[in-house]
Structure 1
Amino acid sequence: LRNPTLRIGTSTPGCDPSGDYTWAFFDKMDALERGLGQQLRERAIPLVGGRDTVRIPQGELASAWVLRQGLADLFIGYAHYAKTLRTLPNVRYVAIPAEYNIQCEYQLALLEASKDALALVEFMLGNGGQEFLIAAGFIPLTDE
Structure 2
Amino acid sequence: MPQITFAVAGSLAAALTDFARAFTARTGHEVQVHRGPAGLLAEAIREGLPVDVFVSASPHGPEALHREGLFGPPCTIARNRMVLVARPGLESSAEDPLALLADPRWRIGMSTPRADPGGDYAAAFLERLKTEDPRRWQDLGPRCVSLYGAVLPDPHEPLRSPALAALIEGQADMLIVYATTADRIAQALPGTRVLPLPLELAPLTEICACVRCDGPKPAHRFFEALQGADCRPILRQHGFLAVPGQPG
- Give the alignment's TM-score, normalised by structure 1: 0.77
Q: Which residue of 2 aligns with 1:103?
A: 204
| Unaligned ranges ≥5, structure 2 | 1-100, 152-156
Q: Structure 2: which amino acid aligns with 1:77?
A: V
2:142 aligned with 1:24: no
> Does residue 128 of structure 1 match 2:230?
yes
Matched, 1:43 2:143: yes
1:84-99 counterparts in 2 under 5 A? 84-88=184-188, 89-99=190-200
8 Å CA contact 2:112–2:147 kept in 1: the answer is yes
What SS does structure 1 have at the residue aligned with 2:220?
helix
Q: How many Å separate the matches in 1 of 2:150 and 2:136?
A: 24
Match of 2:217 among 96, 115, 131: 115
State the Cα distance separating 1:105 from its structure 2 match. Answer: 2.6
Partner of 2:163: 63
CA drift at 1:74: 0.6
Question: Could you list the runs of 5+ residues in structure 1 that have no partner in the other structure?
Answer: 52-56
Q: Which moved more, 1:8-17 or 1:86-95?
A: 86-95
Q: CA deviation at 1:60?
A: 4.1
Please report how far the alpha carbon of residue 22 of structure 1 lies from its aligned counterpart in structure 2 after TM superposition: 0.6
For 1:108, the aligned partner's letter is A
CA contact (8 A) 1:24 1:102 kept: no
How far off its partner does 1:38 sit? 5.1
- Encode CA deviations 1:29-82: one digit per residue, 9 max, x unaligned: 23442345553332101111225xxxxx95542222212211111111122223
Q: Which residue of 1 aligns with 2:179?
A: 79
SS in 1 for 2:231: helix
Once the two structures are overlaid, the 10-residue window that deviates more, 74-83 or 57-66, is 57-66
SS at structure 2 position matched to 1:4: coil
- The TM-score, its normalising length taken from structure 2, stands at 0.48
The number of aligned residues is 139
Distance in 2, Cα, partners of 1:71 & 1:102: 26
Percentage of matched positions with identical amino acids? 29
Q: Which AA in structure 2 matches 1:129?
A: C
| CA radius of gyration, larger in | 2
